[in-house]
Amino acid sequence: MSQVPYHTCTMFKSFTTHSMFNRTFSSSSSSRSLTTISTFSNFTSKNNTHHFLPIFPSTHRVPSISFPTSFSVRMASGEQKFPPQKQNTQPGKEHVMDPLPQFTNPDYKPSNKLQGKIAVITGGDSGIGRAVCNLFSLEGATVVFTYVKGDEDKDAKDTLEMIKKSKSADAKDPLALAADLGFDENCKRVVDEIVSAYGHIDILVNNAAEQYECSSVEEIDEPRLERVFRTNIFSYFFMTRHALKHMKEGSSIINTTSVNAYKGHAKLLDYTSTKGAIVAFTRGLSLQLVSKGIRVNGVAPGPIWTPLIPASFKEEETAQFGAQVPMKRAGQPIEVAPSYVFLASNQCSSYFTGQVLHPNGGAVVNG
């Protein structure tokens, strides 16, 4: 595929890698034990080139980091501004944001809702994915997440360290996997890696996504359209079809869609189209799997303070981000993550399937 022309397009955060961005990382040889996780995993890309994707097992020593310890989000509506800021590289990096997104809340009281479960979160290194990883871990799950090699290494290491600190005593060691999920063979290898380490999958959160801002449909050429659809919806199909072989009655699949699927967005046409497809995918898949006792639901976040914001918008736009919703402010990842806990827990949502939750700051949507 040829490289996407940028024109007036602004690239948003990408959770996957792709050959047209030349994110290929070759090496001569590598091996990985299924019981003792090593540093690299040998994946083969679409063109059969071997790439060695770093894995950060819980035994990997990472630098000490500090995470937010206070939860200062105003729950009521009110004016909110962020410091003007702009990141010049893609995808965005959470560790350089000001303020840091809040992925945890000291007032959150876990109650073993996911004890003994094996949970997989794609795009889990930062933003909403990181907050979901944290709460799943607090609730007793063993957590695996995927991320972008190179661009998100530090955020992935930080998230892994956070999970190590929050995991319950009986949970297994967490795992971070780098992979381009836009291709079926890579999704299969991710699932195989997880099953080799843990035996099965109980919860799959399809969360990886990317988006571009453009003012006209004429700017969306075939390579870009394929890229966005591969990341945002193909990966959901691929991850699900391979994970299902290792899921059983009582398992749960949760898909991240967006408020834009319901309201539309003039400058995010291809992204919004994929998010609409995710809603339809969620509803159709839930009907397929209900007889097997596997629930399928979705979450449609509104404007949430994640790395894609300073990496995508101008400084003045970042400062006003979220002001358009009734609450007049952006949400924090920790305000979205409990929706995933609810949908993943059979204690809480055993009568939910084919449904979508809407943590969006008060925007009224149908569906």
CA–CA separation, 300 and 186 (whole Å): 26
Structure tokens belonging to residue 246: 């290792």
Phi-psi region of 236 (alpha: psi -120 to 50; beta: other; left: phi over 0): alpha
Catalytic site includes residue 198: no
Helix axes 269-289, 235-243, angle to 10 degrees: 20
CA–CA separation, 144 and 48 (whole Å): 25
Cβ neighbours for 339, distance < 8 A, ≥ 6 positions apart: 299, 357, 359
Q: Name the nearest CA neighbour of 239 among 196, 270, 208.
A: 208
> What does R_g of the chain's alpha carbons equal in angstroms?
19
- Choice among 147, 212, 236, 271 that is catalytic: 271
**Angle ∠(186,211,303) on CA atoms, nearest 5:** 120
Q: Characterize 193-225 residue by residue with b for buried, 16 or more Cβ atoms within 10 angstroms of its Cβ, and e for exposed.
A: bbbebbeebbbbbbbbbbbbbbeeeebbeeebe
Active site residues: 271
